[in-house]
Structure 1
Amino acid sequence: MLGRTERELFAALRLPDNRQLEWLGGRTAAKEAVQTLLKRHFGLDLRPADIEIGIGDEGQPLVGGPWVSLVGEAPLVSISHTNGLAVALAMLPADGRRAGIDIERVRNRPEGYAEIAFDDAERSLIASAPSDAEWMLRGWCAKEAVGKSLGTGLRDGPRSLAVVGIDRASGRLEIERRGRLENHDMARSMRFIADTALHGDLVSAVTVG
């Protein structure tokens, strides 16, 4: 399943066994997403090992392989995993936009989590939702997804992205860049829409922007 570079990355991992399995699960999900995308748009039938998932300067996954010359540009992928579950999203490059995905289990958060992750205005906005714990997690996942879309993650902390709008009927959250992220990749929007959903005890967020 893994290409040569990926095998080297895996061998260098210094993670507990469960985290190594999550890493493998994330790579598997990403490869399957890219396989499906390339089959649909280009009719390519690739093996998992043909699709290399490397790591960019900011830690973002980068797709590669000798087949890239056949399609022009490598697809873009986003990966998320939590507690043994992994998901991935793949898309073709389009006008500088990137996809971001995040998943989290609904569970008790550490004390002070809300104050660290959200400012006063965000907490007030989220508190107006029917279940503020669920929507707090939706907000967190939305920030993570947007951070992945930007290629930076939450390197400047969770308050570098702010929840500025919530549509409870659709599950859509509006996320705005703050601080140094306002000056990152300025050709892209200052605001992103993240679609969130609750699946049993799992919250997901997806953005393309």
Structure 2
Amino acid sequence: MELWMEEGDAWALLARQLKERFALERLPAVARTAEGKPWFPQYPQLHFNLSHSRGLALCGAGECPLGVDVERVRPRREGLARYVLSGLEFAWFQRQGEDWGSFCTLWTLKEARVKCTGTGLRQAPRSIAVPLLLPGQSGSLDGLRFRAYGGEGWRAAVCTAGTEALPGAVQRRE
């Protein structure tokens, strides 16, 4: 599995990643599951996921189901953390100093989980359980594996249901 990030379009980034890693000359036709998760009918063994946030694009591709999410760190409305985090997550968030970077780390983990499983945000966010990770840490929960990433002004996460190695870093493309 590889994760690539750049300023720009996530679909264009995916096309370049598929060309470099899998020698696909162009983006294959995309279909969506009944729940909305995109996939390649022509290459069902190839899994991918995309995310974007305020001009920043993240793309992951590999041989196991995966979900990715990226968020720009920025202030959000007051009370949002209390609304979307479980009690355990909110206590962890408070221990981290209630900063928006910590909130975005948890949020990207939640988004990555629902994108990996294909369920989407069809349930209350506080009921979507994730491991409590800082950027650079990995963990597992409910048979899924997670890794959190972060840099100046952004946070990202990946979740996979497979045994493929989780990338230690996000590859920045310029």
Q: TM-score range by the shorter chain?
A: 0.7 to 0.9
Name the aligned partner's letter for residue 54 of structure 1. A
Q: Structure 2 length as normaliser, TM-score?
A: 0.76
What SS class does the counterpart of residue 125 from structure 1 fall into? helix
What SS class does the counterpart of residue 78 from structure 2 fall into? coil
State the shift of 1:130 in Å: 5.2
Query: Could you say which residue in structure 1 is the equivalent of 2:155?
Result: 203
> Which residue of the other structure, out of 27, 33, 38, is the alignment partner of 1:56?
33
The structure where helix makes up a greater share of residues is 1
Change (3 A) 1:164 1:74: closer
The residue correspondences of 1:16-55 to structure 2 (distance < 5 A) are 25-39=9-23, 46-49=24-27, 51-55=28-32
Name the aligned partner's letter for residue 25 of structure 2. R
> Which residue of the other structure, out of 146, 150, 155, is the alignment partner of 1:194?
146
**Percentage identity across paired residues of the two chains:** 25
Which deviations, in whole Å up to 9, do the C-alpha atoms of 1:101-154 show, x marking residues without a partner? 100000011222112210222111222225643111100000100111101122
The number of equivalent residue pairs is 154
Question: Any unmatched runs of 5+ in structure 2?
Answer: 1-7, 162-174
Bigger radius of gyration: 1
- The question of whether the paired residues in 2 share the 8 Å contact of 1:37 and 1:90 is answered with no
The residue correspondences of 1:151-162 to structure 2 (distance < 5 A) are 151-162=118-129
Query: Could you say which residue in structure 2 is the equivalent of 1:83?
Result: 54
Question: Any unmatched runs of 5+ in structure 1?
Answer: 1-21, 40-45, 177-189
Which deviations, in whole Å up to 9, do the C-alpha atoms of 1:45-83 show, x marking residues without a partner? x3225x122222111111134xx4xxxx44111110111
Q: Distance in 2 between matches of 1:200 and 1:109?
A: 17
Change (3 A) 1:92 1:193: closer
The residue correspondences of 1:76-155 to structure 2 (distance < 5 A) are 76-93=47-64, 98-129=65-96, 132-155=99-122
For the aligned residue pairs, the C-alpha RMSD in angstroms reads 2.3
- The question of whether the paired residues in 1 share the 8 Å contact of 2:38 and 2:49 is answered with yes
State the shift of 1:37 in Å: 3.3
Q: Which has the higher contact order (CA 8 A, sep 6+)?
A: 2
- The question of whether the paired residues in 2 share the 8 Å contact of 1:64 and 1:74 is answered with no
